[in-house]
Amino acid sequence: MKKNENRPRYKGRSSFLRYELKGSAGFFIATMLLSAFAALTELINPRIISCVIDYVIGDEKLPDSGAEAAFIRILGGRGYISEHIFIPALMVIGVGLLSAAVKYLGGAVNSAGAERFVQRLRNTLYAQTVKLPMSWHQQNPAGNIIQRCTSDVETVKNFVSAQLTSFARIILLIALSMVFMVKINVRLTLIAAAFIPIIVGYSLFFHSRIGKTFMKADNEEGVVSSIVQENLTGIRVVRAFGKEAYECDRFTAKNESYTLLWIRIMRILSIFWSMGDLISGLQVMLVVILGAVLCVKGELSVGNYIAFVSYNAMLTWPVRELGRTIADLSRAGVSIDRIMFIMNSEPEDLTKGSSDFDEDCDVLIKFDKVSFSYKDGTDVLKDIDIEVRKGEKIGIIGGTGSGKSTMMDLLTRLCDEDRVRGVISFMGKDIKEYALTDLRRRFSKVSQEPFLFSGTIAENISISADDISEEQIMEAVRDASLDTMVDSFKKGLDTYVGERGVTLSGGQKQRCAIAAGLVKRADVLILDDSFSALDAETDERIRKTLYEKYSGMTMIIIAHRITTIAGCDRIYVLDNGRIADSGTHQELIGRKGIYKDIYELQSGR
């Protein structure tokens, strides 16, 4: 899928398949045509065998015209064929080899189409997932999303490449088998055909019954995947609290529920498949017995009887496969619906809006009577008024849950904007007027719990900006007091940090994140309690570098330690979502209030 391709909103399963089959539809059409040709070749051999048995080995009267007469004449006549019986035998082998070659080619083309299809589907899903707003990701567990992007995608792929592509071959085999059978004996054909609506009917019945169970099973699989994902991510916490047994019990309980659902599904499918075997067996038995009776009565030749039984065997498989395709529609339909849930969720439009910024605007950031509440109506921020000028160092302090991090999420438009009241401005313009991508490029945010990707130290530091040289990375490493650690590693910047930086300590991860924030050289650097895992000496050394070397950069520093923000130009004190006080460090410790209480508590006064 091209990056600039506009994807429509899916109205249903058919529109989903039409769009996702772009680029692979040709492969599947070719597969269907090859399957149809293979089906035609399979229908030739029974007629060859029937003709040889009746008119060469047997003594049936050869008609003056028709396909059989033409076949005998082309091969040299009855006498010549009876003396060279290997000729029709070689023809049967040749037709069989041709059929096998066509089937092989069809399988290869189908496999290529299936991989192209699933590649496009995964690309579309991933591109959609990363564009969905944070509120959506907070409501949908990562394990559930992963399960939809893997298991459900594989289910849809198997249905499209196996069942759907074989549909044309099934219909053609049924139609042509019926045509050949009608030419042999009409009554016997009607008896054989009477079982088709029965098989299709019970398949539709099972399709309607099993759909909801498949949905429940897929949802349970999503829950199981979420538990696994959470435990692997938080394995240190599980081990630290000795909760291995508890987590095992929790997983076992959910896995038991998931297993029971699949046992129920397999019971239903076992009944479905058993009924298929029973009905197909009855049909074959009836055709064989009645055909033998007609053969004894002289109403059916031995060759035609053998040919009819062969065609009936060919008819039985596609009819059963048609029933299975109908039944598999349930599972594939559930998987398509689960994928469409992601695809039809409203993504963030990252490019809509202005990209023009007033670089000369002195007031960089302004919160004007800003309030924010959760979905349940609980207020998080109330009437926030803050003004940040270019180059200022702003400190924010407050208790846990006072709304410090939420303010920064609002500034970078990571929260649900429908629940925001008031105006947040950046460079003199409402942040809602800017394109999200352009706005977020102006900020560099370092969180308290930084996320490091599986890769090297250099890759994690350079992830925040493009075309960064090793010299620039090393400069950021030194400014973040990370150089001693890097020098201690044998591979230096090329040291692999593991998933989520598992090989590094909390302080080392925070310094990697600070280096990534610095190397971006954004207009505003947000340090969201990013010094919490650092010792006092490292904290002071990094702050000194920030204040001296990056004096022209605007910074917002959120902290719980007074020493971290004491050197800021202005400090805001948050309490229960409101600004309780503001001023410089000296002003705030000079008057009664929350800031002074925190200062005296931390300084031991």
Helices (H), 159-243: 165-184, 186-193, 196-233, 235-240
pLDDT of 3 above 70: no
pLDDT tens digits for range 392-435: 999 999 888 888 888 988 898 888 777 888 999 999 899 999 99
- Provide the edge-to-edge strand list for the sheet that holds 429-430: 379-389, 363-373, 420-426, 429-430
The answer to whether the CB of 268 falls within 8 A of the CB of 206 is: yes
Lowest mean pLDDT among 284-288, 421-425, 451-455: 451-455
Q: Assign 2 a pLDDT band (cuts: 50, 70, 90).
A: very low
Pairwise CA distance, residues 152 & 333, whole Å: 10
Find the mean pLDDT for residues 468-483: 86
Quick one: tokens of 92? 């049967």
Whole-Å CA distances, 559 to 326, 327, 394: 61, 59, 11
Burial environment of residue 139 by CB neighbours within 10 A (0 to 12, 13 to 18, 19 or more): exposed
Neighbouring CB atoms inside 10 A of 341's CB total: 14
Interval 503-516: pLDDT, tens = 777 788 888 888 88
pLDDT one-digit tens code per residue, 192-226: 888 888 877 777 777 666 667 777 777 777 788 77
Task: Tell me how far CA of residue 421 lies from CA of 223, 225, 380, 430, 510, in angstroms.
Answer: 36, 38, 12, 12, 33
Mean pLDDT, the chain, as a whole number?
A: 83
Pairwise CA distance, residues 189 & 443, whole Å: 76
* pLDDT score of 327: 65
Helix (H) or strand (E) holding 384: strand 379-389
CA count, 13 A, side-chain hemisphere, 585: 14
- C-beta of residue 184 within 8 angstroms of C-beta of residue 261: no
Residue 62: strand, helix, or coil: coil
Q: What is the CATH number of domain 13-343?
A: 1.20.1560.10
Tokens 């591109």, residue located: 127
Cβ neighbours around 595 below 10 Å, total: 27
Tens of pLDDT, residue by residue over 344-388, are 888 888 888 888 888 888 899 999 999 998 777 778 899 999 999
Rounded to a whole number, what is the largest CA-CA distance in the chain?
A: 123
Distances (CA, A) of 570 to 116, 362, 397: 57, 16, 11
Q: What is the mean pLDDT of residues 570-584?
A: 91
Report for 80-84, 174-178, 300-304, 578-582: range of highest mean pLDDT: 578-582
Of residues 240 and 87, the one with the higher pLDDT is 87
Mean pLDDT of 563-583: 90
Instruction: Name the residue ranges covered by the structural domains of the chain.
Output: 13-343
Rg of the chain over CA atoms, in angstroms? 36
